[in-house]
Chain A
Amino acid sequence: MTDYGKGSVLGAATTLPTTSAGVLLLSNGIHPMIVLGFIIISSISTLITISYLFRYLKNRTK
């Protein structure tokens, strides 16, 4: 079976910011632009996950 959904690439893309950004926060001296980049990506990831959640709840067969 082939699939290519949230579980693989998009999954990694939407869950990785939590861990990677968290690890980076622990280290000092991160450039403000990089932190800003993480803020943008984390925000997009959050929106994607919320969107999936709502669409699933709307579409599932009751």
Chain B
Amino acid sequence: MLHCLEGASCVRGESVTSMRVDCPIELLYNHWLMFYSHTVLLIDLIKDYFPLNIKRQPSKNSYKKNYTSAILIPTYCPTKTTYKLIKSIKRWNPEARIIIIDDKTPLSKKNIPVLNRIKQFAKDNKNIKYIRTKNNSHKAGALNYGINKLLTTKNTPQIIFTLDDDVIVNKDTFNLMKKSLYSGRKIAAVCSFVRVINKNVNLLTRLQGLEYHSFNLTKIADNTFLNGPLVMQGMLTGFRTSALKKVHGFTIGHLIEDYDITARLKGKGFKVKIEDRAQAWTEVPESIGNLWKQRVRWTFGGLEVVKLSLNNIMVVFQDFLGHSIFISLFILILLSLFIYNGGNSLEIEHKALLVIIPFLYLITSIYNIILLTSYKDGDWKDWILKLSIIPELFYSDLLTINLIGTYLFFIYKNISEKLIKRFRNLLPIYNYGSKLFLKLGYSSDWGTKEISKKGGITI
């Protein structure tokens, strides 16, 4: 039998059920008291019998400040920006453990001064370490080299950040990413929000600035969709060390190792996300030639990831969907050139298209307005650029041609490499074809650093 709670209108320990009721309000109050006390008891019982169910709920505040982390910066031919990056990380995160992995930079007159400054800075700070790979192993290899070093030390960190050597970060970028990484039990990786440093250089960089902002919005939209965004970009991403161990690190020799590792993490049941408050800046290609090579690398590498994920297509679903729609559309356009119906198209179909297309245009326009209003780096020129449509149309046409060419190159590479294994005589023809593709701007060796610094290296 329940007894009156403090403040209830009952006399000297009378039970609630035997209380004298004088008015309806008092009756209502007594009923509320009974309901309240029963609910409290019930919750206690549930907690006693099903404690795991309560604890399994991921807490939004599960982040502890004492999570240990390390920051890996693979570099090849570092520049002043690399040195500035290391200094800024150190200034804003004094306790951060930073490892600079020099991917066997050639010891030339140009490189030695910067390398020496980095080495000296590492000597002066006990938390900073400079290591050099034995052979040039590209970005994935250099990262794995650094990860292996961390795993063999006594104090293996719980979080490993990987970033490019030409990035600029904010004071709170790493802390925000750490918190985000522990905002859910299954989150394995968190990437930063990308901003473009050189967006005002020319028309091409402005268009890329808008495009990169659209990437950010897409990632934010995908935060709650199919285990998260498609790519945790190599520019700046934080990983749980335990998750990196489960997927055995990065795939060496892959053109876009960041997309590859994201797909493999998702394949293991992990989630990934973008932290839109954690900002970082990067540079975009300033010429069409460099942009072309970069996109060939992205698309070709992306197709490799899709090919490897065909047995688990959901980890690359957005990409698979994009390719499927694009290829279907391309086939339809080709068919329309060859199949002629003598002007007897159905009236109703044309009417349907006339409804759908303006509707799609309207939706795209709303998307663009949201994109522009949320674009912090945008100015009136970006508004004119976006709303005038034509420059973006040329830009997307350029990327479409690049994409179609990459499809052909991908098919050529895959089929011919299989044929060569069986018929060695075809090797000269294959080499001739590869040279032809190279002249048109298609190669499976393009890398970001290769474009700006030195040939043959992908980092």
Please give the residue numbers on chain A whose beta carbons come within 8 Å of chain B beta carbons, in ascending order: 1-22, 24-25, 28-32, 34-39, 41-46, 48-53, 55-61
Contacts and interface: CB of A to CB of B under 8 A. Distances in A.
Interface in B223-267: 223-225, 229-231, 233-235, 256, 258-259
A12 B333 CA distance: 14
A11 B269 CA distance: 27
B366 interface: yes
B341 A16 contact: no
B170 interface: no
A15 to B, nearest CB: 6
16 contacts: A2-B233, A2-B256, A4-B298, A9-B326, A10-B318, A12-B400, A13-B326, A15-B364, A20-B333, A25-B357, A29-B340, A29-B341, A35-B346, A35-B350, A52-B367, A53-B367
B396 interface: yes
Given A18-B357, A22-B357, A55-B225, A61 B218 contact: no
Nearest to A6: B218
B302 interface: yes
Nearest 5 pairs of A and B residues by beta carbon = A10-B322, A9-B322, A13-B325, A55-B221, A1-B235
Contact of B360 (A6, A7, A17): A17
Contacts of A36: 349
Contacts of B354: 25
A4 B360 contact: no
Contacts, number: 208
Interface string B336-351: 1001111111100110
Contacts of A61: 276-277
Contacts of A17: 329, 357, 360
A59 to B, nearest CB: 5
Given A18-B361, A41-B332, A53-B363, A35 B219 contact: no
B341 A32 contact: yes
A7 B319 CA distance: 11
Interface of B: 164, 194, 211-212, 214-215, 217-225, 229-231, 233-235, 256, 258-259, 276-277, 282, 295, 297-299, 301-302, 318-319, 321-323, 325-326, 328-329, 332-333, 335-336, 339-346, 349-350, 352-354, 356-357, 359-361, 363-364, 366-367, 370, 374, 393, 396, 399-400, 403
A57 B366 CA distance: 12
B360 A5 contact: no
B332 A56 contact: no
A8 B353 contact: no
B225 A41 contact: no
B336 A24 contact: yes
B302 A4 contact: yes
Contacts of A14: 325, 364
A6 B356 CA distance: 20
Contact of A35 (B225, B233, B234, B349): B349
